[in-house]
Amino acid sequence: MTSLSLSTKFSLYPNSTFLQFQFPNRTQRISFPKKTQIACSATEQPKGQQKRPKKKKSVTDSEKGIDPVGFLTKFGISHKQFSQFLRERHKSLKDLTDEIFNRHIDLRDMASGFEILGIHRHPEHREDYMEWAPGARYCALVGDFNGWSPTENCAREGHFGHDDYGYWFIILEDKLRDGEKPDELYFQQYNYIDDYDKGDSGVPIEEIFKKANDEYWEPGEDRFIKNRYEIPAKLYEQIFGPNGPQTLEELEEIPDAETRYKAWKEQHKDDLPSNTPCYDVIDNGKEYDIFNVVLDPVSQEKFRAKKPPLAYWLETRKGRQAWLKKYSPCIPHGSKYRVYFNTPSGPLERVPAWATYVQPDAEGEQAFAIHWDPPPEYAYKWKNSRPKVPKSLRIYECHVGISGSEPKISSFSDFIEKVLPHVKEAGYNTIQLIGVIEHKDYFTVGYRATNLYAVSSRYGTPDDFKRLVDEAHGLGLLVFLDIVHSYSAADEMVGLSLFDGTNDCYFHTGKRGHHKYWGTRMFKYGDLDVLHFLLSNLNWWPTEYQIDGFHFHSLSSMMYTHNGFASFTGDLEEYCNQYVDKDALLYLILANEILHALHPDIITIAEDATFYPGLCEPTSQGGLGFDYCVNLSVSEMWSSFLETVPDHDWSMTKIVNTLMGNRKFADKTLVYAENHNQSISGGRSFAEILFGEIRDGSHDTEKLLLRGCSLHKMIRLITLTIGGRAYLNFMGNEFGHPERVEFPMPSNNFSFSLAKRRWDLLAKEGLHRNLFIFDKDLMNLDENERVLTRVLLSIHHVNDDNMVIAYLRGPLLFVFNFHPTDSYEGYRIGVEEAGEYQLVLNTDEIKYGGQGLIKDDQYLRKTISKRLVLTSLTPRLPLQYFLISVFYLCVHVLEFNSGYFLWFCPLCCSDILVLQRRWPPKLLRSAYAQ
């Protein structure tokens, strides 16, 4: 596999604790500052006595902004135990990086293991294979290329075969074709990329070398190069030869170097001029001076002007045509192979951990690695560049296998043809792929990954996946990958479990090495080689496949030894007690630091049900460095309301509080009404809940349909607009997919009937097309009005009795009525600025499946000035502080049976008036503080 390398220079400063990444146009630093101590004295300095001036310590720019508890100070959080934990974690991070630098040049080298591990083509007509298996005693590569022989291609004994860290190295020589002779030069190289270069010109190697010597060396310069032993031989003959001294007495005392050098100069003062370099001994007259031999300045300048004969060396490198004529590949493209180990437990065959293409056999009990090395003329070539990262993310979550309309596993090509155009039309700007990384069992949705460097062969080849990413980029879509580094499959025949015969290779031993409820294995994040594997995996996908971001799945499983299955009260002690895995936190910090340094535009999203403090805060301020974190409570709330709570009992206060989440981290929140969990993980989608009770011919069908359609639209719109900077939707949910997803498994007799999407519903007029049109207009609304990028709302009108919610986001006014039966006429909503408000989005419009009760002449409303005491503005503020004078928008809503409606109004900025504030500012600020 040809790997893509970054044209990046790295320099490690030995006297500082930061790693500097040098890019062509900018410099970024990963900072690991030294710990500073501040001494405080409670005693006063006696008069007349001056403090001795202390020498100021030089601090680099990268260290000035480091504060292990910075985000706690930012939010005014005071918790001694958690602060101490953050400081200890920062010290552990410094110790870890020091340990890394003892083994690796820099952090980029730490995260680029895929450049040397696995199988790679070497220019010297061979393939190199490297694997980490510290518990193995013997390593060989077996496959159909060598008849599955465990002895033909094996690692050599000693350090030529494996090092002290357990990395095995195997060289596989290309095979000579019949009638061909081996190359005369053992270091003969071939250019495998181009079809032709100078090496195919037919010029003999001897002629190239002679040309290099004749043109590079001047007469006399190569005398001592060709005759290296001339001077030592003469010196030996002079001292120990037949005419030299025979005893120590005859040898006498040997003069010092300066005396002998001057004597030699006097002896050869009449020699003819020579092109050989001239040297002189310079003595500075110091006792400790060792006579310095200095090159003549003229000769030195002449030597520096010379250029090495690289041009001649390149002429010895032959092209691909010459290699194809003389050799056949040791492992042909498409060959099946595995790695063979001899362990204390006996012989084992495993799929290589760094394999880039893996395919299960027909029975599904074993898998093979596929050597993917297509000829250059057939390898995929990128056409489109990566799109710019948008200010707001509208993510369309997809599963390739169930993306088709037919009951089968869809391919990457099917996805490109059918789904990508739909995503573009729907107005989303990002796709997030789940289940792409190779996994054994299809019904696990891909979360029990077995081979972290391979795309699933169920959907196509690595080049097919490259084409998918390339086509998405061509449509202006970012491509995110759902990455699972929080656990791994426990399958011993395919995955990493017992990889080298030992139980502690990649995973913890004992109970800690197994997930308490899911039966998966837990990585050993404190091991450098495991970090090397995982960090390199994160770097692999953006480098090889140009992935734009990662969704880190189920961080709770890795950050706690109880795997997140514990009750959390919100006390910070729960995030720093004995159940917290500090090694996992250090891995996440390194992952974000390295990813953002090597790929500055990459996006990382954290999925953590425990809302770990500082998820999205900078690592320099004590955070973990993610760009977004998922508010998992939102989908759970909506699902609970729809399935267990009657319509009249819905709490508007709970809706607002859940959607807003923790306001301190709202700028980094990703929200969704429902994702794949509601339709894949054994649950029902919202559409199945809302429309599943509708029966044809029932007198309640029309009423239930209107209720379900209204709630489906309102839930999505309030979720997108009320909180967060990013929005996510699972494939098909935008048009109310009527069926849940059920993967083929023994319980359903391996049926594919529900493992698909009903795209045919969009071609028909009716409910599902109406819902899609609304969702499309909702996405366009964010694109045109920048809803997600607006300043987060701060004032709400929340009335649990009337079940009305109203709020402002920027100049945009949103009004919701969740009451199942009551409508309101003349309902007054406070706004911050006066003017004309125009209705631009109404869920009750006919094209969205509504009744169209609001007429065109009611789309424009003007504010009026009126003073009153608000019955409810926000559940967080005392009501007595809201005797105010503001401008109100009088919203006239006609009564209709369902009672579900929404008005969305952008503010017209003409005739803006200053608000008259009648309350003490300090009192208001104190109210907000409460």
* Full strand arrangement of the beta sheet holding 167-173: 118-122, 126-132, 167-173
Q: Please, which residues bridge with residue 629 across strands?
A: 606, 669
Of 746, 684, 749, the closest CA to residue 441 belongs to 746
Q: What is the crossing angle of helices 462-474 and 528-545, to 10°?
A: 60
Of 873, 891, 905, the closest CA to residue 828 belongs to 891
602: helix, coil or strand?
A: coil
8 Å CB contact between 538 and 595: yes
**Do the bridges between strand 336-343 and strand 138-143 make them parallel or antiparallel, or are there none, so unpaired?**
antiparallel
8 Å CB contact between 353 and 133: no
Collect all residues with Cβ–Cβ distance below 8 Å to 147 and sequence separation of at least 6: none
- Say how far apart CA 72 and CA 927 lie, in whole Å: 23
Which pair of tokens denotes residue 174?
């290309």
Length of the chain: 930
Collect all residues with Cβ–Cβ distance below 8 Å to 52 and sequence separation of at least 6: none
- Say how far apart CA 732 and CA 687 lie, in whole Å: 10
Collect all residues with Cβ–Cβ distance below 8 Å to 831 and sequence separation of at least 6: 808, 813, 837, 863, 886, 887, 888, 889, 907
8 Å CB contact between 848 and 871: no
Amino acid 470 reads D
582: helix, coil or strand?
A: helix
Residue 218 falls in the annotated catalytic set? no
- Say how far apart CA 347 and CA 365 lie, in whole Å: 18
Of 382, 370, 560, the closest CA to residue 455 belongs to 370
To which H or E segment does residue 216 belong?
helix 205-216
- Give me the catalytic one of 63, 471, 544, 607: 607
Collect all residues with Cβ–Cβ distance below 8 Å to 367 and sequence separation of at least 6: 351, 358, 359, 360, 361, 440, 450, 451, 493, 494
- Say how far apart CA 93 and CA 83 lie, in whole Å: 15
8 Å CB contact between 294 and 166: no
- Say how far apart CA 188 and CA 604 lie, in whole Å: 44
Of 860, 863, 862, the closest CA to residue 840 belongs to 860
| 706 phi, psi to nearest 5 deg | -65, -40
**What residue spans of 673-799 are helical by DSSP H?**
686-691, 701-722, 767-785
- Say how far apart CA 584 and CA 93 lie, in whole Å: 11
Q: What is the crossing angle of helices 767-785 and 412-426, to 10°?
A: 70
Which pair of tokens denotes residue 16?
């500082």
Outline where DSSP puts E strands in 201-249: none
Query: Angle at Cα 58 formed by Cα 55 and Cα 61, nearest 5°?
Result: 155
Query: Angle at Cα 845 formed by Cα 843 and Cα 848, nearest 5°?
Result: 70
Collect all residues with Cβ–Cβ distance below 8 Å to 467 and sequence separation of at least 6: 380, 412, 413, 416
- Say how far apart CA 523 and CA 534 lie, in whole Å: 9
Which pair of tokens denotes residue 728?
């996510």
- Say how far apart CA 914 and CA 834 lie, in whole Å: 8
- Say how far apart CA 769 and CA 764 lie, in whole Å: 7
8 Å CB contact between 131 and 351: no
Give catalytic residues, as residue numbers. 607
